[in-house]
Structure 1
Amino acid sequence: MLHSVIKEDSALVFIEFQNEWLTEEGVLQQRLIKDKEPFLEAVRKAGSVLETARANGWTVAHAGLDLSGDPHYLLFNEGRDVLGLRKAIPAAGTWQENGARPVEPFVPRDGEFVVAGRSGGSALKNSTLDPFLRNRKINTLFLMGFATHVCVESTLREAHDLGYNAYLVEDACAAFEQAQHDHVRRHVVHHFGEETNAAELITRMEG
């Protein structure tokens, strides 16, 4: 339960609050988001969580995806002879300069951690997030972002397997369609963590 969550042991992880998802010109916003209102509401709720975290000194980690240093997608063999996101990302040309930029209010501030080196669906995959958390002796994560059934779910699963207690902040995440989001909540979360919501988390941070 959230009443047992300790501030010093916890981190809020914001997954992909960047142009690709959050602006009208974003490729993923244009091509993938079918249920817009739940998506926009998730952005609003996540913004409220972030504002409260900043006001109360909670640990914040921005776990975006930024491949602007690899314009030819060499990381993914240029999308050749690979499957899944490794093929789809080079084909779409996403997560380059403009698409990778964070959007206010999710632009990192001084003292907030920016994850680097990520190479997979999970924000923990080959990135600096895990060592950052371990060096700060953090064991509890609150996950927010996009998409619920892809990168957020991947992060939840890996966090569990690495020994973290992870919460899905369910109304601060969204999928392409509401049914995908609901599936994760109903059939996935309880295997790898628990869920909470923005209001409950905000109340805990303000307490």
Structure 2
Amino acid sequence: MARIKLSCERGRSIELDTARTALGCIDFQADFVLPEGRAGALGLPIEVLLAALPAAQRALSAAREAGMFVFFTRECYAPDLSDLNAFRRQYDVAIGSPGPLGRFLVKGERGTEVIADMRPRDGEPVIDKAGFSAFHQTTLDTVLRVRGIDTLLLMGYTTQCCVASTLRQAVDLGYACILLADACAAYDPADHEATVRVMYSEGDNFGWVSDSQRLADASQSIEH
């Protein structure tokens, strides 16, 4: 067991037990960020997401070096879309539509896969979720609790959607959450900034905000 002190925004900090802390890598999927993916083909500003990748890689390396549990998530649905809820079935017509890397957000398609720059290692689970939150109808809560995890570091795409949805549900489930802000991104930077700002609302109601460099610096303090 090792303990590290992670410096956070606004003069705050949090002490982490590395054995009880997990890094959640949220939806680093090809269709969201690669030039050959759906977002790139549609002309969305993927460069904003790509710019966060070095920080995400730094955080991933630091978490692994510190011996933290790491998990990945993918938003994806059954080929027949039977697990797509009624609201999104009616209003989100993109899901299941053809794209350059296969049907959008459908299990087994190339566009749904985690990108090579963030490839999971053996023993790092990939949680498939039919929704925004990584806890929505998944085994993630059980996966974490059987390991004694009580604190989550979160990063990924997009900040205001799947990252924030996961963080909010995690807080309701009793996890302490730290958003690694530089390792998250949204196509509209204003959405990213608004999500970070909400973290500070009502007396830091949703947890802590830090970044990949401070995590890397903290992990270096561990004696191996």
TM-score w.r.t. the length of structure 1 is 0.87
Q: Percent same amino acid at aligned positions?
A: 34
Provide closer, same or farther for how the CA distance between residues 174 and 158 of structure 1 changes in structure 2, counting only shifts above 3 A: same
Q: Is the 8 A contact 1:79 1:90 kept in 2?
A: no
CA distance in 2, matches of 1:154, 1:32: 25
Number of residue pairs aligned between Structure 1 and Structure 2? 201
Correspondence 1:14-33 to 2 at 5 A? 14-31=25-42, 33=44
CA distance in 2, matches of 1:56, 1:81: 41
CA distance in 2, matches of 1:143, 1:186: 16
* Match in the other structure for 1:199: 213
1:115 paired with 2:123, answer no
Provide closer, same or farther for how the CA distance between residues 141 and 33 of structure 1 changes in structure 2, counting only shifts above 3 A: farther
* Match in the other structure for 2:111: 99
1:65 to 70, 75, 92: 75
* Match in the other structure for 1:54: 64
* Match in the other structure for 1:39: 49
Alpha-carbon displacement from aligned partner over 1:46-97 (angstroms, at most 9, x marks no partner): 0111122233322100112233xx21212126888644x5x54235741231
Ranges in structure 1 where 5+ consecutive residues have no aligned partner: none
Alpha-carbon displacement from aligned partner over 1:20-69 (angstroms, at most 9, x marks no partner): 12311211344474372x422211110111122233322100112233xx
* Match in the other structure for 1:160: 171
Q: Is the 8 A contact 1:157 1:192 kept in 2?
A: yes
Alpha-carbon displacement from aligned partner over 1:85-141 (angstroms, at most 9, x marks no partner): 5x542357412311111112322111212213x221111111121111111110100
Q: RMSD in angstroms over aligned alpha carbons?
A: 2.3
Provide closer, same or farther for how the CA distance between residues 153 and 80 of structure 1 changes in structure 2, counting only shifts above 3 A: closer
Ranges in structure 2 where 5+ consecutive residues have no aligned partner: 7-13
1:90 to 91, 96, 101: 96
* Match in the other structure for 1:174: 185
CA distance in 2, matches of 1:58, 1:29: 33
Q: Is the 8 A contact 2:30 2:112 kept in 1?
A: yes
CA distance in 1, matches of 2:170, 2:28: 19
Quote the offset at 1:188 in angstroms.
4.1
Quote the offset at 1:194 in angstroms.
1.5
* Match in the other structure for 2:22: 11
Provide closer, same or farther for how the CA distance between residues 35 and 80 of structure 1 changes in structure 2, counting only shifts above 3 A: closer
Q: Is the 8 A contact 2:79 2:96 kept in 1?
A: no
Provide closer, same or farther for how the CA distance between residues 79 and 186 of structure 1 changes in structure 2, counting only shifts above 3 A: closer
CA distance in 2, matches of 1:171, 1:80: 29
1:186 paired with 2:200, answer no
Q: Which has the higher strand share?
A: 2
**Counterpart secondary structure, 1:73:** coil
**Counterpart secondary structure, 2:117:** coil
